Chain A
């Protein structure tokens, strides 16, 4: 295909991605090296606020931004600060101090490292679970009677199609306080259980939710892949006396390998952005994730402040992390591309 033809085919898609993804990305990149501040002044202000019956007036020194007479907007200054925002996010001085004194747990007191720890554990622990559970369901469905397959596929897809906000809430309600599953567990074990009181149980629930939500996606793709397993290979394997497990190990899994890579790729990206679980399960006190950290920097407080520079830095650090994670599965795509180009 000529370059010009190729260009016109991809142009609309490329244009949208550049406008809505690349441009913000570049501005985030630039902002992570800048700090934009309003020009502040201290003035004496008398403020009167209501009590129930009377009013209280206080006069105090307030720090407020200067408003430009000409434009009517607040005056701001923008300064290049190099890596300062990254330093504020990473807090390497504390990390080195913790390493120096041997108090490695102190590192996890720093938000970024705490978030990184959870994000990585979450991503890497759920990955094999999603692939494993998805494959198991696919094999079991493939094994089931033809008449059952339709309804079973339908039910299996439910956790995947349900709106994530609602899915995580429905699971949260089953476990929070005296939620019915907690009560049931309490009756079985005879102990008082509070699922949202300590971090490991919350983490467990988050793993469970993610696998519940994503395994159906893996399932349906593996199931589609199973339909194209080469029966001849399988039968010759049987003639060679391969056991059921050996057939799975040496025929079916290699056949599904490209799909496993695909699932892994998608899963790594989605998990590394983990966010809904933090909000849905209200786990901020115990575990936080990298995207939540960025989100928290960006959420304005009552006074309208938002830490744009640190948010940009933390977003860039998240990006770097994802690129590192993706290198491995993408090397395969590169080989396929070189080998299979038309």
Chain B
């Protein structure tokens, strides 16, 4: 049995190597220009780069350090990579440094199948092509909610009311799962909640405006989660929350849409078919869902020859085609034609199409600095070392220091 499996694995890897070196299994043409890409490493990128590799002469680097490497590698001349995978956060340094090229003529040449909302325009020029969106949605255990007669919560107040009932019933370890790992994740929770209360991140002069009523409210709402959540919430990232969900330890969570598919994976999950998705809850009456919209997409380097850019874009279009989406339908909320939203995507789509709509993640240099300050200063509030007002002052100070160093503030 083992031998057979080993042989099979050998065959699979062998054919994998063949594919990347010369057999053009499912590609419409043969790529002759050597190309490389650098992107994050999650499931959707694996799907797209695998589809691109079918055309040959292509090496994909799915790297967890891509954030550090990408700006420098694209600034090199010639650029070390022709193709880059970015999100609306990580495109900013490339845009700022002018190391990615406008794609208008290439879209005109190869982009017949692109939908208009896939084109990321900056000042009228197409700078990136999006392939998927990501946002938070409310995942909940339908069986528990039915047993206890709880309606699907649409606001955070209702979430806490439901959590109270679930806690009283004692059916799961923790009523709410939260991705509050200190650093990026925790800051993102605040970035979701704060605009939900109508807060603005910055004033006109680039100083931060988080030290406000909305800021206090956002912090208080975050603190209200704690009694219902795992006491180790400050080390919980989305993988960990997803795992707890799969093990049936939590009843609901406002989690990334890309995490939905894992709930019905029988190999990992003991709650298959019991999890339903709804729109991310609103923070206040009549407000937008307390979350932000993200997209992931492709950019082409500026410091390469036009022939390479042409070949690179053609390859990207081949990778982001209907065939790839059909084969990986559950891997993401695709923007590419041919995507059929399953029940697990319902919550994310409801979030993205709500009125008023959740804002896109505001990707600017200032926001990057503020995100870091939030990630470093918020833990002290959640551990109880600092109250809400003092925390907001600390965030303001930390941001000001960083912004002065970065040349944003005088």
Q: Contact between B368 and A304 (Cβ–Cβ < 8 Å)?
A: yes
Pair A301/B368 contact, Cβ less than 8 Å: yes
- Which of B98, B293, B407 neighbours the largest number of chain A CB atoms within 10 Å of its CB? B407
CB of B368 within 8 A of CB of A109, answer no
Task: Assign chain A's interface to a size class.
Answer: 35 or more
Question: A284's contact among B75, B116, B379, B401, by CB below 8 Å, is which?
Answer: B379
CB of B371 closer than 8 Å to a CB of A: yes
Q: Give CA–CA (A53, B357) in the complex, Å.
A: 12
B71 CB-CB contact with A under 8 Å? yes
Among residues 215 to 233 in chain B, which have CB atoms less than 8 Å away from a CB atom of chain A? 230-232
- B90, CB-defined interface residue at 8 Å: yes
B359 CB to nearest A CB, Å: 8
Instruction: Choose from A49, A77, A109, A281 the contact partner of B120 (Cβ within 8 Å).
Output: A49
A249 on the interface (CB 8 Å rule)?
no
Q: Which among B133, B293, B357, B368 is the interface contact of A302 at CB below 8 angstroms?
A: B368
- What number of B residues sit within 8 Å (CB to CB) of A? 74
A213 at the interface (CB under 8 A from B): no
CB neighbors of A among B142-178 (8 A): none
Are the CB atoms of B121 and A57 closer together than 8 Å?
yes
A73 contacts across to B, CB distance below 8 A: 75, 97
Q: How far is the CA of A35 from the CA of B204 in the complex (A)?
A: 25
Interface residue A300 (Cβ < 8 Å from any Cβ of B) = yes
How far does the alpha carbon of A305 sit from the alpha carbon of B372 in the complex, in Å? 10
Interface code B290-314, partner A: CB below 8 Å = 1, 0 otherwise?
Answer: 0001010000001100000000000
How far apart are B335's CB and chain A's nearest CB, in angstroms?
Answer: 6
Assess the A300–B121 pair: CB atoms within 8 A.
Answer: no
> Is B130 within 8 A of A285, CB to CB?
no
Near A by CB (< 8 A), chain B positions 4-59 give: none
Asked, given contacts A56-B357, A303-B367, whether A51 binds B379 with beta carbons under 8 Å apart, the answer is: no
A266-310 CB contact bits vs B (8 Å, 1 = yes)? Answer: 000000000000000111111000000000100111111101011
Does A142 make an interface contact (CB < 8 A)? Answer: no
Contacts of A56 in B (CB 8 A): 357, 360
Residues of chain B contacted by A176 (CB below 8 angstroms) = 232, 235, 240
Asked if B364 contacts A307 (CB within 8 A), the reply is no
Partner pick for B123 among A45, A85, A282, CB 8 A cutoff: A45
Question: Given the complex of chains A and B, what is the CA–CA distance between A287 and B90 in angstroms?
Answer: 28
Whether A299 lies near B68 (C-beta < 8 A) is yes
Please judge, given known A-B contacts A40-B407, A109-B380, A303-B368, whether A50 and B130 are in contact too, CB under 8 Å.
yes
Contacts of A281 in B (CB 8 A): 235
Q: Is the CB of A51 within 8 A of B117?
A: yes
Q: Which residue of B lies closest to A54 (CB)?
A: B117
Q: Does B259 contact A (CB under 8 A)?
A: no
B235 A49 Cβ-Cβ under 8 A: no
Complex: how many Å from CA A303 to CA B94? 9
A316 to B122, CA, bound (A): 41
A45 to B127, CA, bound (A): 13
CA distance A270 to B129 in the complex (A): 46
Binds A, one of B102-110, B263-271, B315-323, B381-389: B381-389
Query: Contacts of B97 on A, CB cut-off 8 Å?
Result: 65, 67, 73-74, 304
A39 to B406, CA, bound (A): 10
Q: CA A296 – CA B406 in complex, angstroms? A: 15
Pick from B90, B122, B408: contact of A63, CB under 8 Å: B408
**Are B232 and A46 touching (Cβ within 8 A)?**
no
Contacts of B87 in A (CB 8 A): 302
Shortest CB distance A86–B (Å):
13
Min C-beta distance of B207 to chain A, whole Å: 12
Q: How far is the CA of A196 from the CA of B231 in the complex (A)?
A: 8
A303 pairs with B122, CB closer than 8 A: no
Contact A37 B406 (CB under 8 A): yes
Is there contact, CB below 8 Å, between B244 and A177? yes
**Known interface pairs A52-B349, A285-B382, A305-B365; A300-B120 also in contact (CB < 8 Å):** no
Query: A49 to chain B: which residues have CB within 8 Å?
Result: 88, 120, 130, 293, 295, 360
Contact of A300 among B93, B353, B357, B382 (CB under 8 A): B93
With both beta carbons as reference points, the residue of chain A lying nearest to B235 in the complex is identified as A282
Contact of B238 with A by CB under 8 A: no
Known pairs A54-B117, A74-B96, A302-B90; A285 contacts B379 (CB<8 A)? yes
Partner of A55, one of B98, B117, B230, B369: B117
Whether A62 contacts B408 by the Cβ 8 Å rule is no
Interface residues as binary, A191-204 with B (CB distance below 8 Å gives 1, 0 otherwise) = 00011111100000
If A35-B405, A56-B360, A194-B232 touch, whether A301 touches B124 (CB-CB below 8 Å) is no
A170 at the interface (CB under 8 A from B): no
Q: Does A236 contact B (CB under 8 A)?
A: no
User: Does residue B363 face the partner (Cβ distance < 8 Å to A)?
Assistant: yes
Q: Do B89 and A303 have beta carbons less than 8 Å apart? A: yes
Chain B residue, CB-CB nearest to A44? B123
Question: Is the beta-carbon distance between B372 and A50 smaller than 8 angstroms?
Answer: no
Chain B stretch 187-235: residues in CB contact (< 8 A) with chain A: 204, 206, 230-232, 234-235
B118 at the interface (CB under 8 A from A): yes
Question: What chain A residues lie within 8 Å of B333 (beta carbons)?
Answer: 52
B235 touches A51 (CB 8 A): no
A50-B118 CB under 8 A given contacts A88-B405, A285-B182: yes
Choice from B232, B349, B363 contacting A196 with Cβ under 8 Å = B232
User: For residue B89, which residues in chain A have a CB less than 8 angstroms away from its CB?
Assistant: 302-303
Interface-central residue, B116, B118, B379, B405, by most chain A CB under 10 Å: B405
A51 to B232, CA, bound (A): 34
Chain B residue contacts of A38, Cβ below 8 A: 96, 406-407
Bound CA span A57–B360, Å: 10
B residues contacting A by CB (< 8 A) are 67-68, 71, 75, 87-90, 92-93, 95-98, 116-124, 130, 133, 181-183, 186, 204, 206, 230-232, 234-235, 240, 244, 249, 293, 295, 302-303, 333, 335, 348-349, 352-353, 357, 360, 363-369, 371-372, 376, 379-380, 382-383, 385-386, 394, 401-402, 405-408
Closest 10 CB pairs of A and B: A304-B93, A303-B368, A37-B407, A302-B89, A285-B379, A285-B182, A197-B231, A301-B368, A52-B352, A285-B234
11 contacts between A and B (CB under 8 A): A51-B353, A54-B117, A109-B386, A195-B232, A198-B383, A300-B67, A301-B371, A302-B368, A303-B365, A304-B97, A310-B405
Given A296-B376, A303-B96, 19 more A-B residue pairs with CB atoms under 8 Å apart are: A39-B407, A46-B122, A47-B122, A48-B119, A51-B357, A53-B353, A61-B204, A63-B408, A72-B302, A77-B407, A282-B181, A282-B235, A284-B182, A284-B379, A285-B235, A299-B68, A300-B93, A305-B406, A307-B405
Binding site for B on A (CB under 8 A): 35, 37-40, 45-57, 61-65, 67, 72-74, 77, 85, 88, 109, 111, 176-178, 194-199, 281-286, 296, 299-305, 307, 309-310
